[in-house]
Amino acid sequence: MTKQDHLIGGKVMTMRTLALLAVAAVAAAAVACGGTSSGTTGSTITLGAPLGLTGSLAKESLLTQQGYNLWQDWINSQGGIVVNGVKHLVTIKYYDDTSSANQSAVLMQKLITGDKANFLLGPYGSAATATDAAIAEQNEIPMVEANGAAQSIFNQGYKYTFGVLSPANKYLQGVIDMAATLNPKPTTIAMLSADDNFSLEVADGVNTYAATKGMKVILYKKYKNGATNLSAEVQAAKAANADIVLNSGHLQEAIAINKAAKEQKVNAKIFAYSVGPSTPDFITALGKDADYVYGGSQWTPQVKYTPAFYLTVAEYVAAYKAKYPGLGDPDYHVAESTAACLALQRAIENAGSLDPKKVRDALAALDVTVFFGQLKFDSRGINIYKPMVVEQIQAGVHHTVFPADVADAQAKYPTPAWDQR
């Protein structure tokens, strides 16, 4: 041994080896501090989302996924969700529940136990949301959903499910509010409804609300969910000769009813469908026959909310068109799905923790406005604070016609008779 050798751990070390070790130690420490210069990066947050990517809800589930992905891209470009000064990137794990509510619950459980999801994003549709809410409750993991509006989900006393969208019973109430402002005021309503939970709630919402605005439901017909031949129901609406024909159902049925209305010469002053008119498929499937149809909508690109964080309405529309070109404006299913992610993000930030119970409490106390509207939940977990808007298709283009402060066009009322268009 020479004077320059040192004894470390029983082994003889030369100066050179010591120096190399020191450099390595400093380098390791530098790497451990994280890649960004502003704050450290923590573990990746996993969000679980089962969606009906195949099956009867494929189209709407795809829109939901687009909404989730838009937010995921944005949050990760910001470095992730900030929790107590630590940034956490986000990854959303999707499974295909083939549009089966039971399968959705199975996959939700898998996301929790197998994929170790920190939090859950809702599926598409009230049926799957209901089954998934039970799983979220059992496992005590918050689920924020945007596509299950049936109030029956929120009347179960669940504490871990939060819906950012307006509940089902409000879907067509906006149309009635609008009708009350029109001249000559329509007074009679023919209400057609599919027999699934969500559609029945929308219809009941109309049945109870109409009288408060001086209107009467003179016909209420339910039909099998998913029916494609609705001529007999439309015939009954024709016989009733109502001023307003309302449908509560889904896209497939809205198209069938509109076609039957034209064929059977049903000339109502207002045709309004709860789901369908806001999707681009409605216009491409029906062409000119889609004109004058009203729809209740959770959100349109014309609303004027000032966001506390994330993008403005105009920026959101631009971001959607940039990521998904050729599809036109985002429809409300996309927007509400992004809003669910925003609610979760803000709740995590407010809680300053990834602990499920703390985030749950932060969600319950949340009150923030984003491009989608006010995000606040009532004691049951559903957002009764955001209003529905009414859209009308005019010359193949969607326009917001009610409420007046967000409208970009006047309602074209009354709807002209079929043979006078």
Partner 1 sequence: MADFVQLVILGLLAGGVYVAVGVGFGLVWGVLNIVNLAHGALVIVGGYLTWQLFTALGLDPFLTLPVDAVALFVLGYALQRGVINRIIRGPLLFTFLLTFGLNLVIINILLLIFGSDFRSVTPAYSGQGLEFGSVVIPYVRLISLGVAILMSAALALMLNRTRIGLAIQAISADRDAAQLVGIDLRHAYAVTFGLGAACAGVAGGLIAMIQAITPTAGEPYTLQAFVVVILGGLGRVSATVVGGLAFGLVEAFGQSIPGSGSVFANAIAFGLMVLVLVTRPQGLMGRLK
State the Cα–Cα distance between residues 34 and 370, nearest whole angstrom.
31
Is 264 an interacting residue with respect to partner 1 (CB under 8 A)?
Answer: yes
Is 418 an interacting residue with respect to partner 1 (CB under 8 A)?
Answer: yes
Is 12 an interacting residue with respect to partner 1 (CB under 8 A)?
Answer: no
Nearest approach, Cβ of residue 223 and partner 1 (Å): 4
The radius of gyration computed from the CA coordinates of the chain, to the nearest angstrom, equals 26
Binder of partner 1 out of 115, 137, 177, 281 (CB under 8 A): 281
Task: Give φ, ψ of 404 to 5 degrees.
Answer: -60, -30
Choose the binding region for partner 1 from 32-40, 123-131, 263-271, 307-315 (rule: CB under 8 A). Answer: 263-271
Is 407 an interacting residue with respect to partner 1 (CB under 8 A)?
Answer: no
CA dihedral 383, 387, 388, 391 (to 10 degrees): -150
Binder of partner 1 out of 93, 110, 213, 259 (CB under 8 A): 259
Helix axes 197-209, 173-181, angle to 10 degrees: 30
Beta carbons of 290 and 283 less than 8 angstroms apart: yes
Binder of partner 1 out of 263, 315, 367, 378 (CB under 8 A): 263
Alpha helices in 78-170 (DSSP H): 101-113, 126-139, 151-154
Is 218 an interacting residue with respect to partner 1 (CB under 8 A)?
Answer: no
- 231/353 with CB nearer partner 1: 231
- 271/310 with CB nearer partner 1: 271
Best CA proximity match to 266, nearest among 215, 230, 213, 222: 230
Is 384 an interacting residue with respect to partner 1 (CB under 8 A)?
Answer: no
Nearest approach, Cβ of residue 316 and partner 1 (Å): 22
- 138/284 with CB nearer partner 1: 284
Helix (H) or strand (E) holding 61: helix 58-77
State the Cα–Cα distance between residues 110 and 107, nearest whole angstrom.
5
Is 256 an interacting residue with respect to partner 1 (CB under 8 A)?
Answer: yes
Is 58 an interacting residue with respect to partner 1 (CB under 8 A)?
Answer: yes
Choose the binding region for partner 1 from 2-10, 109-117, 168-176, 259-267 (rule: CB under 8 A). Answer: 259-267
For the segment 282-301, give every residue that binds partner 1 (CB under 8 A).
284-287, 289
CA–CA distances in Å: residue 293 to residues 124, 175, 193, 222, 397: 24, 11, 17, 21, 11
Best CA proximity match to 308, nearest among 251, 367, 249: 367
Nearest approach, Cβ of residue 399 and partner 1 (Å): 22
- 289/336 with CB nearer partner 1: 289
Nearest approach, Cβ of residue 229 and partner 1 (Å): 5
Is 252 an interacting residue with respect to partner 1 (CB under 8 A)?
Answer: yes
- 255/342 with CB nearer partner 1: 255
Nearest approach, Cβ of residue 73 and partner 1 (Å): 22
CA–CA distances in Å: residue 314 to residues 277, 319, 335: 21, 9, 12
CA dihedral 265, 267, 268, 273 (to 10 degrees): 40
Is 323 an interacting residue with respect to partner 1 (CB under 8 A)?
Answer: no
Beta carbons of 121 and 143 less than 8 angstroms apart: yes
Could you tell me how many residues of this chain bind partner 1 (CB under 8 A)?
Answer: 38
State the Cα–Cα distance between residues 234 and 283, nearest whole angstrom.
20
Nearest approach, Cβ of residue 327 and partner 1 (Å): 10
The encoded tokens of residue 344 equal 């979760």
Is 312 an interacting residue with respect to partner 1 (CB under 8 A)?
Answer: no
CA–CA distances in Å: residue 234 to residues 78, 200, 215: 52, 18, 20
Q: How many CB atoms lie within 10 A of CB 314?
A: 10
Q: How many CB atoms lie within 10 A of CB 20?
A: 12
For the segment 221-250, give every residue that binds partner 1 (CB under 8 A).
221-224, 226, 228-233, 235-236, 239
Q: Which residues bind partner 1 (CB under 8 A)?
A: 54-56, 58-59, 62, 195, 220-224, 226, 228-233, 235-236, 239, 251-252, 255-256, 259, 262-265, 281, 284-287, 289, 418
